[in-house]
Amino acid sequence: MRKLYSNKPVIFSLVLPGLLVFLFAVLAPICLSVYYGFTDYSGMGKAQLVGWDNYVKLFQDKAFGRALENSLLLAIGFICIQHPLAIIVAAVLDKLQGKAEGIFRCIYFIPNVISVAVIAYLWKFIYNPDFGLLNNILKVFGFQGQVNWLSQQNAIWSVLIVLIWHGFGWGMLIYYTGIKNIDPVLYEAASIDGANWWTTFFRITLPLMKPVIQINVTMAIISALKQMETVYLLTNGGPDNSTQFAANYLYQQAFKAFKYGYGNAIGVVFIIICITVTVVLNSIFKDKQNA
C-alpha cells in the first residue's frame, strides 16, 4: 500500500480525470461567465467589452431587485416553515414502527418524484379561478365570488406555497436520515431518567443534528435563489414580475431577450451571493458548535 501511495504516476492518473472534469465543466464556464458579464454579447456575433455597465444596470434594475426580495421570502419560508415541520415529521416517523414508517416516508416524498412540469400544471388547475379546487372548497364553506390566486396581489404567496410544499420531502428525508444515525442508547438513557419526547427532542435530537441542519439550511437558501423550473411553468415571473426569481430572470434576459452579457452578469452576482451565504452560515454554525 505504501508503494502504491508513493507511485506518483499512478496517483496522477487517478486524479487527472476528476481534475479535467472540474476544469472544463465547472471552472471554465465560471470564467467565461465572468468575461461575458463585462460584454454586450447577444449570443451571436462578436462580444464588445462594456466594462461595469451591465453591473451598474443590474443594481438599478427593479425586476432583479424584486427577484432577490422573492428569493429572500422563499428562504425565510424554507427556514421558518418547511424545515421546522420537516424536523418534527422526521422525528415522529422515527418513532413509528413497522410498515407505517415506510408508508408515510414514501407519501411525504412522492411530490419530489413527480415531474416539475406535472407539479406546475397540477397547481395551475388547483389555483384556477373558474373551476379550481381551492375556489370550490371555499364555495362549500359558503364563500361567494372567485379568488384569482395568481393575481398580482396573491401570486407570490401562491408560488411560495407550491415551492415550500414541493421541497418538503427532500428536507424531511435528510433530517430523517440524520435522526436515524443518532445512537439509540442516548434515547434509552434519557427514557430511563424519565425524559419525555419533547425533552429528548430538544436536548438530544436537535443538538446532535446541528451539522445536518447546517447543510439543509445552506441548501435551502441556495435553492431559494436558483428557483426556475416551477416558477417558469407556473407564472414565468408574472404578473408584472411579482413572482420573479433570479434564475428565471437570468433565463429571460439571456435566452429570450438575447442579452447574453447581461444574463451572465446576473449569474456572476448569483454565484457571489451563494458563496457569501455559504461562508456566513458556516461561520455562524461553527461559532455555535464551538460555544
- What does the pLDDT look like over 118-166, one tens digit per residue? 999 899 999 988 888 888 888 888 887 788 888 888 899 999 999 999 9
- What does the pLDDT look like over 110-125, one tens digit per residue? 888 888 889 998 999 9
What mean pLDDT comes out for the span 186-204? 86
Q: Clarify whether residues 151 and 75 are in a common domain.
A: yes
* pLDDT at res. 1: 55
Residue keyed to cell 412522492: 110
CATH code of 232's domain: 1.10.3720.10
The residue ranking higher by pLDDT, 261 or 187, is 261
Q: What is the pTM of this model?
A: 0.84
Among 261, 270, 259, 280, smallest CA distance to 51 is for: 261
Q: Clarify whether residues 21 and 149 are in a common domain.
A: no
Q: Clarify whether residues 239 and 215 are in a common domain.
A: yes
Q: Clarify whether residues 197 and 252 are in a common domain.
A: yes
- What does the pLDDT look like over 48-73, one tens digit per residue? 899 899 999 998 999 999 999 998 89
- What does the pLDDT look like over 162-182, one tens digit per residue? 999 998 988 899 999 898 888
Among 4-8, 17-21, 68-72, 236-240, the range scoring the smallest mean pLDDT is 4-8
Q: Clarify whether residues 28 and 44 are in a common domain.
A: no
Q: Clarify whether residues 10 and 55 are in a common domain.
A: no
What mean pLDDT comes out for the span 171-200? 87
The residue ranking higher by pLDDT, 30 or 287, is 30
* pLDDT at res. 278: 86
Q: Clarify whether residues 176 and 199 are in a common domain.
A: yes
Residue 203: HSE in the Cβ half-sphere, 13 Å Cα cutoff: 12
Q: Do residues 52 and 265 lie in contact, with contact meaning Cβ atoms separated by under 8 Å?
A: no
Q: Clarify whether residues 102 and 89 are in a common domain.
A: yes
pLDDT at residue 191 tops 90: no
Give the range of the structural domain holding residue 101, as residue numbers without chain letter. Answer: 37-290
pLDDT band at 5 (very low <50, low <70, confident <90, very high): low
* pLDDT at res. 129: 86
Most confident range, picked from 3-17, 73-87, 131-145: 73-87
Q: Clarify whether residues 56 and 182 are in a common domain.
A: yes
Any idea how long the chain is? 291
| Number of folded domains that form the chain | 2
Q: Do residues 116 and 229 lie in contact, with contact meaning Cβ atoms separated by under 8 Å?
A: yes
Q: Clarify whether residues 78 and 204 are in a common domain.
A: yes
Q: Clarify whether residues 115 and 175 are in a common domain.
A: yes
Q: Clarify whether residues 43 and 27 are in a common domain.
A: no
Residue keyed to cell 465572468: 34
Share of the chain above pLDDT 90, in %: 28
pLDDT at residue 3 tops 70: no
Among 75-84, 97-106, 160-169, 197-206, the range scoring the smallest mean pLDDT is 97-106
Q: Do residues 236 and 120 lie in contact, with contact meaning Cβ atoms separated by under 8 Å?
A: no
CA distance 242 to 265: 22
* pLDDT at res. 4: 60
Q: Burial, 23: exposed, middle or buried (Cβ in 10 Å; 0-12, 13-18, 19+)?
A: exposed
Average pLDDT, the chain: 87
* pLDDT at res. 291: 46
